[in-house]
Homo-oligomer: A and B are copies of this chain.
Amino acid sequence: MPALKYSRQRESIKRFLMSRFDHPTADTIYLHVRQEFPNISLGTVYRNLALLTELGEIIKITTDGPDRFDGHTEPHSHFFCRKCHSLLDIHLEDEAAIDRQAQEAFPGIIEGHSVQYFGICSKCAK
């Protein structure tokens, strides 16, 4: 792993992700960071998202459609609205209980989990 060097673009991407709870796509992030760095390219956004994910500073969430990114790394779950495609946080009381259940049932080494609930969000239900 090469030595990490500071970059204003990466900082901006991370700051943006930490400020939000709706898990934007690379493209949304691109459009935002562009306001601060009009010349930034999508490739740079993707490169930094991959790097931050590898460092564990953000989380990459794979869904139907483009990947989503999350600047909040405490273990938590997600809700995907199948109508408006919003992706929202769910903080369970005992998130670790989910791993414990599976560890009993499975012989491999479980390092973590990701739960994705799906349904209709309260906005769309109206």
Contacts and interface: CB of A to CB of B under 8 A. Distances in A.
Interface stretch (A8-16, A20-28, A41-49, A111-119): A111-119
Contact of A62 (B62, B79, B81): B62
Interface string A71-102: 00000010101100000101111100111011
Q: How large is the interface on A (under 10, 10 to 19, 20 to 34, 35 or more residues)?
A: 35 or more
Contacts of A60: 64
A3 interface: no
A91 B105 contact: yes
Contact of A79 (B81, B106, B116, B118): B106
B118 A106 contact: no
A19 interface: no
B119 A79 contact: no
